[in-house]
Structure 1
């Protein structure tokens, strides 16, 4: 771990320092910019960017600068049983992997920009596409985020099931972002990436010599004859995106509603697979489909009965009028509703609209408890659900303040409990990077997410106790 000092010129937000860490095994680099690297910034970097994302490292190697060797940093290392080593004074450059990463970071602009110019009336306020890809020992993944001219975010991620280099992953991420922009019929695009090679090759400044990358260079040519501009809505990654929000593709709803009742396990899996693709639109999906899920058990799977048919019909009825989801807007808090049933848990993430009087749903989630999780107390189930939801909705909750609405306050239980067990300590670490504020349900007035709140009053809801377990 090392610090890049006094970047020239400084970033647009005034940051002039970069804190860099590299994993010696995978060579994965984590870098975060700061206005000034003080000891509390180093501790926050270790907890948020290393421990919360990748787990506890065995050792951390730094040089002998004071901000990387402060008492606060040593206290964090002792708390999490991390061995802290310093490079020898006789060879300050012994931390060669980080020094090499520093050179690369200094050479490239952290946000190289490629502007795709098209004659358009909206050139002064274009769409933005951010792309990134990674390839390491854990796998190959790509991601892209589209930002509309009015500031709405449309994230997309994918896992590659073939072997590729890091440069190939960057190109695949660029293809994902551009394909999404084409699907939504964006008329002007600013593309941002951190790969100097991809950016310079696309701008024609560098020659493409690697035979593995030549096909990408030939593919990434915009054909204006195949593009239509000036539309108000379009398909994006299988969904309909318009000014109203994000809607389910009617073709996918029609395919589900035309399905006959499944007779075999293969047909059951096919039906549930189709539902899983649009699960973000379905409130309490796990609870609604619980009788159907039981047909997939290895032991005593059972047969299709009247209860399964009722659940099957309820899903079809629900999809006759599916909700329209709203992408979250910046500088507005999110509202997270949590509910815990006996065998499953569900949540909905929402946000107030422009008027501030009506709520719009952003994302629905549900999950069946694992066998060991079903043995937790009601309060611990709520904590477990909050930690799982924060991981699944990280791309939303990490950059917004989140108001938590639930029957119990898991935040108080996790962060104020004097004696932490293993799982509570793990939940505390996972949630420490989020800004979550517990509010009572009465303080949220005029809720428009009625279908989810109605499901909260479930007959098999487990009775709760407001006393903390395992305390005197």
Structure 2
């Protein structure tokens, strides 16, 4: 029987069973087994056998599987029978190679492994197993901040170019995608699979190795090497049937992943299974994408490292060399420090307690004692140790922190970090992460729940909020504490179920494990929700009075905050929703000033920052319904990315939106890009109905036979051209891009072929030559001169039939739109050219009813500046202000 530490269960084949154990009846088995690629292994049943090794004996289950594969002794037997590993013969499939003499020789020999390219695991496909009765879930693409759109498109192009994703036309499954900005400013696209496939996958319970077991195999090591796989999941190809479950819905359409992707809940188990099988029979520890190689001396270490790198190279995998460590006498791995003397818990696990500052007032002392009392039953002589601290809580006692109090405080910290309280991480015990936030700090504690219900901490963490974070609303601080705890204890949480405990009930709505992202949530809340969506958690509410462990850490946090790079990037991300433009009558600063003076919004601002009261005034209930989606940026209240406009500025905002007399539907569509307040839709309708110009020019469009044009695949492929006129004393050539609905209008003295060609040459010089143009049968377009022009430029010229203008209905429609818009502007004191420019800017920046996007966004692939954009806070100002504060903070410490 082959010993396989990568196998959770001990198994034999059906052939071996019939040959050796046919006389023993099989029992039913509820065990589910899979290959390391995720494919199911049919189980025939199981029976109990007497296992003897030396002087040890135990009755253990043995599972029988279909086929005639090898017999494996898995971890369930190894836990019961303690083997003498020195006597176990190691099987190696590696070809003999000369022993390396130096570390540089090993790294050079396998330089291919370190190439800066995406690896591809050979001959293996990952399988995402979905329940047979699963109902497909299709979600539409979520709207993106304007400043994100171009970068998301570039990332989609990169992923497609590297064959990580592929476009598809149809899918029953589709997850919305949310971009996460990394520290270097690049985008990572994440599918929100918790609302689609994660609800339908079969539970893949392939266990991660117990850290204690891992560490036991490392004892005696003198030299260590840590290996970090680059973009680990994406090096594993998906099988064809699994790809459909990874479909993402984006502004550019549907895509499927060709490789294992971030966010699918079974990906962790799939990847661990694959890696353990790939590294089988090698002296290496595998924990997801982190590999650890050790050796008792330099020769053994080099040999082991050589074998591991050879296996990686053989299977086509790539390593991120900048994150690796080679030939070290001490490394940190899985929360422990390893060196030649042994294995020690990392000081970082208890630093939040060891370095916690002494309380400065009664409130902070109560919070710290809440932490001590939470684990008090494990603290010996608790009342004696704490008596100097409890004396300070007595009424009419003057606060005086002296040596007795400091000694008691230090003793408490020593006990909280001792073996009497702390426990080792055990993957078989329920896991809980409790997080909390105060006005100035955040804290988290990760703990196990024993079978008797006792909770024992594994590690603690805390930090002080940065100046920017202290300005977050309370719900954002509480959300930040969850993300901080999850990221801090990632190595314990990744790939397994856990309870996420908070004392802030609204977070259950925002971060519920089966809920989608709230579309109108603040940008950072959406970003944090995506980070959490990669973890398999159940969020739990706990009353503040029972939340003393995390609360205590948040009120005596370590003095460290986020590093400057992280804070700058956070400022940049949060400000992406606030594009910075010029020349408008209203600015974000004016909005902020008016917000402070507005009775309703000043109260709303306070509620967002400090928390909502139990009793909600009637006039605030409309805001309370959106409370989880409201945030504050530079003194402005935002609902998602829309500015909540103070009462006295609403008339000016409506006047600005109505400037081009766009009509009710387009005016509402434009407003939804920028502003919101209660009853805004009815206010817009009132403005349009009271506008004399709009009422005079209102008309019903005429009907005409339709021609079902195929929708073009990109901008500037098919143009529709027509003339408006004679109109307002001249002729106007109207050109419409069929994809984006981008409109060009040229005033012309005469609609001749020569004049038309001259205008089109300038147009093509700016945007390129289209594949096709559609016109009517007018003489201008049917002349020999015009026909030669389109032939020379390789343009397909399509014309409509006489008396059927709807064959070129797109141009006809926008001729009518242009005429209506210009008539509404005739009362304005503007030149003809200014009126045309005014109309075009309004039209191009208003979302189109067919595409749902503005023509400018689709055609230019960027947001076009308008006067409304200054209503929003400035991205540049946000980043500059935070960078300046960081510089001041750095300089202050540098001179101390």
**TM-score between the two structures when normalised by the length of structure 1:** 0.45
The structure with the larger Rg is 2
**TM-score between the two structures when normalised by the length of structure 2:** 0.26
